[in-house]
Amino acid sequence: MSDFYEKLRLAAGDGRIRRDEPMAMHTTFRVGGPAAYFAEPGGEDALARVIRLCREEEVPFYILGNGSNLLISDEGYHGVMIRIGEGFSRLERLEDGAGCKARVRAGAGLLLSRMAAWAAKEGLTGLEFAAGIPGTLGGAVVMNAGAYGGEMKDVIRSVRALDKDGQIRDFRAEELQMGYRFSSIQERGDIVLGAVLDLNPGDRDEIQDRMEELARRRREKQPLEYPSAGSTFKRPAGYFAGKLIEEAGLRGYRDGNAQVSEKHCGFVINRGGATAEEIRRLCRHVQKKVAECAGVHLETEIRMIGFEEETCDAACNCDRNVRGGKDNSLKDA
């Protein structure tokens, strides 16, 4: 594959290309084996060239944000991990829209925490809920990330994306069908490049106070001292995942160094030195026990990449195409 490496390097232009990149360095779980290739294109044109090359050469690829919603196997990824990073970090205020809305354009590689801090400094309200979410804007749009009563769909006006035909398209918010941890981008497999958000002018001190209050609540209720992927399971209709897990007797349950958090049962944590397989097994054990005890299926929020035994059904979020040599353009947070 040395020829492919050279082609990849040329396609990425000024972007960074590495071989055998340890993915534990790029996921918030701090686990994961090496990616055969790791690419960080410097902009939209370079990204389009890298993806076109992968498709032409039938090399699988995966779009990576901050790795905050991702579990990569200990064996790693036998393709190209494409990180949407610094080349997609532009942030600017546009002319205000109708109804005194403050219009903001942001790149998909921006961390939500950085965006929320910038908005607070600008005296713009609407992103306070996002200050503690560890993902990027791109992944947050794809999954309609949310917390403490706020969701991305509340602030998104439009999204700029690269579709499967390599064309750049702009989608209005109403075209995205954004719901609980869902947008139509997931079904189409588009790659988010950026978005325009509508925020509201507000009082800087009140915005900052709200962010500090939410940060305090997170510290009190969430196991922020350990690597994790945030909330591990989606909230089933009519239930709370953490409560179901606790009622199944799984608070503090361990598989090696992977553990159901004692502080918040909805979090699976890496106590230090956990393997991806331990985390995967623990997630499946939790699903099994909750189904036995409550008759409820817990669906994972995290995407599981490179586990051969994973199947593409409602019980998993696997990388459907990695073994078949096709592309997988779903984006994590």
Q: Which residues are catalytic?
A: 181, 231, 301
What pLDDT was estimated at residue 321? 37
Q: pTM for the whole thing?
A: 0.87
What pLDDT was estimated at residue 166? 86
Q: Topology of domain 89-211, per CATH?
A: 3.30.465
Rg (CA), the chain: 20
Closest CA to 232 of 258, 257, 213: 258
What pLDDT was estimated at residue 289? 98
| Positive or negative: CA dihedral 309, 275, 333, 8 | negative
Contact of 65 with 333, CB cutoff 8 Å: yes
**What is the residue type of 26?**
H
Q: With respect to CATH, is domain 2-87 assigned 3.40.50.1240?
A: no
Where helices occur in 90-148 by DSSP H, the ranges are 112-122, 137-143
Best CATH choice for the domain 231-300 from the list 3.30.70.380, 3.30.565.10, 3.30.1490.20, 3.90.78.10:
3.90.78.10
Strands 254-255 and 258-260: antiparallel
Location of structure tokens 């294109």: 41
What pLDDT was estimated at residue 231? 92
The upper half-sphere exposure of residue 318, i.e. CA atoms within 13 Å in the direction of its Cβ, equals 17
Distance in Å from the first CA to the final CA of the chain:
29
| Domain residue ranges of the chain, discontinuous segments joined by + | 2-87, 89-211, 231-300
What pLDDT was estimated at residue 311? 41
Name the token pair of 308.
């051969």
Strands 150-151 and 146-147: antiparallel
Query: Could you list the pLDDT tens digit for every one of the 333 residues in the chain?
Result: 579 999 999 999 877 899 999 999 999 999 999 999 999 999 999 999 999 999 999 999 999 999 999 999 999 999 999 999 999 999 999 977 666 689 999 999 999 999 999 999 999 999 999 999 989 999 999 999 999 999 999 999 999 999 988 889 999 999 999 998 899 998 888 999 999 999 999 999 999 999 999 999 999 999 999 999 999 999 999 999 999 999 999 999 999 999 999 999 999 999 999 999 999 999 999 999 999 999 999 999 999 999 876 543 322 223 343 333 333 334 455
For 187-251, the DSSP string reads HHT-EEEEEEEEEEE--HHHHHHHHHHHHHHHHHHS-TTS-B-SS-BPPPTTS-HHHHHHHTT-T
| Positive or negative: CA dihedral 235, 238, 242, 245 | negative
Helices (H) and strands (E) in the chain, counts: 8, 17
φ and ψ of 305, to 5 deg: -120, 130
Cα–Cα distances (Å) from 206 to 99, 148, 182, 219, in that order, read 21, 16, 30, 20
Topology agreement, domain 89-211 and domain 231-300? no
Which positions ≥6 away from 8 have C-beta within 8 Å? 17, 37, 39, 50, 53, 80
